[in-house]
Amino acid sequence: MSGNPEPSATGGASRAELVRALGLVDCILLVLGAIIGSGIFLTPGGIARATQSTTAVFFVWILGGVLTFCGALSYAELGAAYPRAGGIYVYLREAYGRTTAFLFGWCVFFVMVTGSIATLASAFAIYLSYLVPMSPLASKLCAVAVILILSLINCLGVRSGALVQNLLGTIKIGSLIGIAVVLFLSGKGSLQNVSSSPGTFSSTPWSALGIAMIAVLWAYDGWHLLTFAAGEVKNPRRNLTVGLLLGTLSVMLLYLVVNLSYMFVLPFRMLTDSSRVASDALEHTIGPVGGTIVALAILISIAGAMNSNVLGGPRVYYAMAREKLFFRGVAYIHPRYHVPTVSIVLNGIWASFLTMVGSFERLFSYVIFVSWIFYALGAAAVIVLRYKQPDVERPYKTWGYPVVPVLFCLIAAAIVLNTIVNDFKNSFWGLLVVAAGLPAYFYWRQGADDAKC
C-alpha cells in the first residue's frame, strides 16, 4: 500500500506496470468531470415540477450533495488505506470476499460503466445533431466514433486521458460559471422569481421529494470513478482523499449557484414547464444564440463525463483479471504506455455494441438501482474493515465516523427499497442481471483455483 507502481499480473512476456502519474489537480478534475454531465442542464425543470416549491428544490439539491459528500468521506478512508486499481472492487473484496466484488465488477462491465458510456455517447450525438443535422444511422456512428476516439486517447497513457479530462473539465466548469454570471448580470432577473413558488416545503409530498431525489442523484453520480484509478494516483493517501472531498464539495456549491441563477431569471412557472432549463434561461436573456452556447456546453460536459468512465472503468476489469476472475488478457499492461490497453479496448468495444444495439437503455434502467446496493456496501466496508482489519494503516479516517457511513448506507437503502416497492418489475430484472454473474464467477474461480494447484 505504498506509493509504488502496482505490478502486472501478466508475467512472462510483459513486466510492465501501472504508473502513479495522477496528481492532485488531476484527481479533483476527474471527480468534477465525472459528476458534471448533462444533468445540471436538463433536470432542474423536472425537479421544480415534482416539488412545486423553491425551498424543496434547494432542499433536495443540498441533500443530494450532502449524501454524495458522505459517500466521498467514507470512500476517502478506503482509498487511502487500499490505494489499488479497481477502487470499490478492492474494498468489497477485502470486506466481503471475492463473490461480492466480482458481482460488482460484472455489473460495472456489462451495464454500469459501459451503459453509462453508451448513454452519454448517444446523448452527445443527439445534441450534436442540433448543430449538425444527421440521419439516425449517422448519429449512432458518430456516438461510436466518440467512444473509440476517447478509448484510443486513454490507450496512449493515463496522462493522455488525464490531460483530456483536465481540458474538458476546465472548460465545462468555466462554462457553468459563465452561464451563472451571464444570468445574474443580464438585468432580466429578479429575486422575486426565486422567492415565489406555488407550493411550500411543508406542502410537498414525500413521494415528490423522492422522485426529485432520483433526478438529483443522477446529476451527482460518478464521484466514485476516481477510486477505480487509485493504482495510478501519486501519493494516494493525500491526493485521492483531497480529490474526492474537494471535488464533490465543489460540485455541490456549483450546482447550488447554477440552480439559483436559473431561478433568478425564470419565473417558477416557466421553470416547471421547461425541459431544457439552461437553454431557456439563456435564450430568455441573450436571445437564440443562448441555445447554441448551451448545446456546446452540454457537448463538452458529456464528452468529459464519457472520458472519466473510459479512464476509470477498465481499471476494475484489470483488477478482476489480475486475480484470474476475468479474461486473463485483460490484465495486460502496455510496456510503453503503462495502461491496461486490452481492458480499455474491450470496454470501448462493448460500449460501442450497446450504443449500436440501442436496447441498453432498458437494461441500464434495470441495474442503475443495483449500483446503489454496491455503493452502500462500499460505505459499510469502512465499518466492516475497521473490525476485520484493525491493523491496516489508515492515513485518513472518515470524519463523523460511524454516523457518516451509516447515514450514507441508510439513505442508499431507502433509495433501493423505494425502487423495489414502486418499480418491482424493473428491480426484479436488475437483480436477475446481477445473479447472472454467479455462473461466470464460479467458472473463473474454478480456473483460478486450478491454476494454484
| Structural domain contains residue 18 | no
| pLDDT for position 365 | 64
| Structural domain contains residue 17 | no
Q: Please say if the pLDDT value at position 329 is more than 50.
A: yes
| Structural domain contains residue 289 | yes
Give residue 451's pLDDT band: very low, low, confident or very high (50, 70, 90): low
| Structural domain contains residue 11 | no
For the record, the C-alpha cell of 154 comes out as: 486513454
CATH of the domain at 305: 1.20.1740.10
287 vs 106: which has the higher pLDDT: 106
For the record, the C-alpha cell of 319 comes out as: 483488477
CB contact at 8 A, 77 and 237: no
| Structural domain contains residue 33 | yes
Q: Please say if the pLDDT value at position 2 is more than 60.
A: no
CA distance 168 to 179: 16
Phi first, then psi, for residue 111 (nearest 5°) are -140, -50
In total, how many domains does the chain have? Answer: 1
CA distance 109 to 111: 6
Q: Please say if the pLDDT value at position 238 is more than 70.
A: yes
CA distance 450 to 68: 41
| pLDDT for position 16 | 74
| pLDDT for position 1 | 41
Counting beta carbons within 10 angstroms of the beta carbon of residue 315, is it exposed (0 to 12), middle (13 to 18) or buried (19 or more)? buried
CB contact at 8 A, 70 and 405: yes
| Structural domain contains residue 14 | no
CB contact at 8 A, 115 and 362: no
- Could you report the per-residue pLDDT of 159-217, keeping only the tens digit for each? 999 999 999 999 999 999 999 999 999 888 888 888 888 888 888 888 788 788 878 88
Mean pLDDT of the chain: 88
Q: Please say if the pLDDT value at position 304 is more than 50.
A: yes
| pLDDT for position 130 | 77
| Structural domain contains residue 15 | no
| Structural domain contains residue 6 | no
| pLDDT for position 315 | 96
3-state secondary structure of 22: strand
- Could you report the per-residue pLDDT of 83-96, keeping only the tens digit for each? 999 999 999 999 99
Reported pTM: 0.88
CA atoms within 13 A on the CB side of 213: 24
| pLDDT for position 14 | 44
Entry field: residues in the chain: 453
| pLDDT for position 212 | 86
CA distance 411 to 431: 19
DSSP class of 453 = -
3-state secondary structure of 291: helix
- Domain around 105: 24-452
- Of 262-266, 271-275, 360-364, 373-377, the one with minimum mean pLDDT is 360-364
- Mean pLDDT throughout 342-355? 95
Give residue 366's pLDDT band: very low, low, confident or very high (50, 70, 90): low
Counting beta carbons within 10 angstroms of the beta carbon of residue 387, is it exposed (0 to 12), middle (13 to 18) or buried (19 or more)? exposed
Phi first, then psi, for residue 359 (nearest 5°) are -85, 5
Give residue 3's pLDDT band: very low, low, confident or very high (50, 70, 90): very low
- Mean pLDDT throughout 5-31? 72
- Of 17-26, 39-48, 244-253, 380-389, the one with minimum mean pLDDT is 39-48
Counting beta carbons within 10 angstroms of the beta carbon of residue 287, is it exposed (0 to 12), middle (13 to 18) or buried (19 or more)? exposed
- Could you report the per-residue pLDDT of 54-73, keeping only the tens digit for each? 999 999 999 999 999 999 99
Q: Please say if the pLDDT value at position 107 is more than 80.
A: yes
For the record, the C-alpha cell of 239 comes out as: 491526493
Give residue 415's pLDDT band: very low, low, confident or very high (50, 70, 90): confident
- Of 98-107, 156-165, 197-206, 230-239, the one with minimum mean pLDDT is 197-206
CA distance 305 to 233: 19
Q: Note the Cα 443 to chain centre separation in Å.
A: 30
Q: Please say if the pLDDT value at position 372 is more than 90.
A: no
Cis peptide before 288 (omega within 30 of 0): no
Q: Please say if the pLDDT value at position 131 is more than 90.
A: no
DSSP class of 231 = G
Phi first, then psi, for residue 17 (nearest 5°) are -135, 155
- Could you report the per-residue pLDDT of 248-298, keeping only the tens digit for each? 999 999 999 999 999 999 998 888 888 788 888 898 888 888 888 888 888
